[in-house]
A and B are shown apart, each in its own frame.
Chain A
């Protein structure tokens, strides 16, 4: 406990408005990009690009708006754990769905 308290004391980094404005602009650009991309005919790459842009935006929000870039290791580990569990839910359920003989996979 004492170690983590020390870490927060030294890392109570106040993120300034400049960073926030930059991220805001990046997010707006990303939004425009993803809308534009949905009007293109890219076959199977459409959902990939949409998700890639959405994930990039999410990462920016997590790192900067939610201060994870400046947070303790524990916070970063917690975020990773959440993403990991979500991926386990998706991927292991897909192990069933994708290997069924029927269904349009």
Chain B
């Protein structure tokens, strides 16, 4: 899509973002066992060697036969081991151990939670969803389970489901900044822009330094057509976080939508300097230049947009208009024909046309 705010945040971006943000819960460390006394001088060495040997054997056995080993561990030890595996990204071990734990203690919500996380980290979202859903059923009062379930649902683009889980998370833990931020994005992806604004505002209130906080809020305002507020938030994000291609682009885009063409050109030009591979930035730069009366420059930008995204009809529509203004009617006609061809090739849209849902 070109020229308007994307309806959905890009799935890959969400996933990266989620994985970056996801942190396993910390270890619950136990106190060190005390050494026995009364073995004389050799006793400590003997004990140490023996202990090391036994540990090594046990460790090896555990890797060879997790089942047998799990039977020997207590519930607490299993929990600790599972967390250890998760934290050290020993994911296959974590899955094996988790499976055994769940089989042994089927009503233990935490084991299902950890197993779900292990599955998610190995990329098996379906199993992750199953385990986390069961964990939530067993212990609906655990905010961490709701949160992790939401992460999995977000990765599946199930924004409505994720929103439910994030709402539950926040009910149990209102100070969870990331939950507010993710809930805002889930709302935005479900076109529920008004509550998205509220969530982004809450996240900023809880943590004014949250990264992308003003960007997210600006995006939500823009989706509501509240362009002036969006512009103000984007500017604040730039002020706080420094220049980033996404923020510069969205700012330029919002200025363009507000009819502030010259300012839009300035930001969008910077946008293509920061990321010359994004066809949307080139397209909107061309559109802004055309509307600011810079037809020749617009032509170049629009041709670049068409080159980067050859299946997009929009640059050809704009090009036709620009070329007509430049008095090159034949070329304009040819661009309109190209525009019509590409439009025909696009899959039919469902629902009402809104000028942005193509």
Indicate whether A and B interact.
no
